[in-house]
Amino acid sequence: MAKVGNSRKQVAKTTSKKSLSRSKILKTALRLTNKHGLEQLSMRKIAQALGVEAMSLYNHVSNKDDLIDGMLDLVVAEFELPEIDQQWQSAMRNRAISVHRVLIKHPWAAVLMLSRINVGPSILAWTNATIGCLRNAGFSYEMADHAWNAIDNHTYGFTLHKVNEPVSPSEYAEAARTYLPQISEATYPYLHAMATHIADGSHSGINDFEFGLDLILDGLERLRESPG
């Protein structure tokens, strides 16, 4: 009976090795990171989730940096790809809203998008489509680069603020009521008035991602129409 048991374990291990792939490893790592955070991710935990030995992962990913780059590429694959022939403002607006929505879903990813050089296939395709859409609209390569960065700086910055804000939107009014006594109306009249509006519910205090995005798009359209 012992021999049969060992044989079955060996077959299971062999099957696991054969079915292991880079895609499966990256998807498992992405799931674990979304649940527990990037700081808790390790090759050992990924291997445990997959039911394999940790060393077997290195047949498919070079190291943790390669793993993270692959995970980021999976995240970018969820971004809406701009259509080069679409009206540029609509395409860029939809693109930014999609990026913001996806990065809220993967809150660990925004800062890494800004701090790592990544040349994964999804990132390359997304970037190429972005530049193509702006060039097709009449922007020079230089202005397309400025436009793309202005939009992304707003998107990533807003997202980082959103995932790290100390008070949830549903708690803004209560927080304003709590801190209002510390904001002297005589010393800080405008801040006191704003806090009062939030405290009494006449203003939500919630930052609007699309408000800032539309300001950027409108400004870029003016530059496109008068590039000189």
Residues 216, 172 within the same domain: yes
Task: Mark whether 98 and 160 lie in a shared domain.
Answer: yes
pLDDT digits (tens, 9 = 90+) for 82-115: 999 999 999 999 999 999 999 999 999 999 998 9
Structure tokens at 222: 């003016």
Asked if 163 and 156 touch (Cβ cutoff 8 Å), the reply is no
Alpha helices in the chain (DSSP H): 2-19, 22-36, 43-50, 64-76, 88-105, 109-115, 121-136, 141-164, 172-179, 189-199, 209-225
Beta-carbon-side half-sphere exposure of residue 141 (alpha carbons within 13 Å): 1
Torsion of CA 168, 170, 171, 172, to 10 degrees: 90
Residue 70 lies in a domain: no
DSSP state of 182: G
Containing structural domain, residue 91: 76-225
Domains in the chain, number? 2
Contact (Cβ atoms closer than 8 angstroms) between residue 122 and residue 72:
no
- Asked whether residue 97 is assigned to any structural domain, the reply reads yes
Q: Is 27 exposed, middle or buried (0-12, 13-18, 19+ CB in 10 A)?
A: middle
pLDDT of residue 132: 97
Q: 16, 35, 61 — which closes off a domain?
A: 61
Diameter of the chain by CA atoms? 86
N-term to C-term CA, the chain: 84
Nearest to 207 by CA among 167, 158, 166, 152: 158
Q: Looking at the structure, do residues 105 and 175 belong to the same domain, yes or no?
A: yes
201: left (phi over 0), alpha (psi -120 to 50) or beta: left
**Vertex 153 angle, CA 212 and 100, to 5°:** 70
Q: Are residues 50 and 96 in the same domain?
A: no
Confidence at residue 165, expressed as pLDDT on a 0 to 100 scale: 87
Same domain, yes or no: 117 and 6: no
Statement to judge: residues 85 and 181 lie in one domain: yes
For residue 181, the domain's CATH number is 1.10.357.10
Q: What pLDDT shows up at residue 42? A: 95
Low-confidence ranges of the chain (pLDDT < 70): 1-18, 227-228
**CATH number of the CATH domain containing 10:** 1.10.10.60
Say whether both 94 and 206 belong to one domain.
yes
pTM assigned to the model? 0.85
| Per-residue pLDDT, 12 | 43
Nearest residue to 225 via CA among 130, 139, 134, 132: 139
Q: Are residues 111 and 205 in the same domain?
A: yes
Q: Is 170 exposed, middle or buried (0-12, 13-18, 19+ CB in 10 A)?
A: exposed
pLDDT of residue 105: 96
Question: Which pLDDT belongs to residue 134?
Answer: 97
Same domain membership, residue 162 and residue 50: no
Does any domain span residue 66?
A: no
Do 97 and 204 share a domain, yes or no? yes
Which of 168, 170, 161, 173 is CA-nearest to residue 201?
173
Residue 71 lies in a domain: no
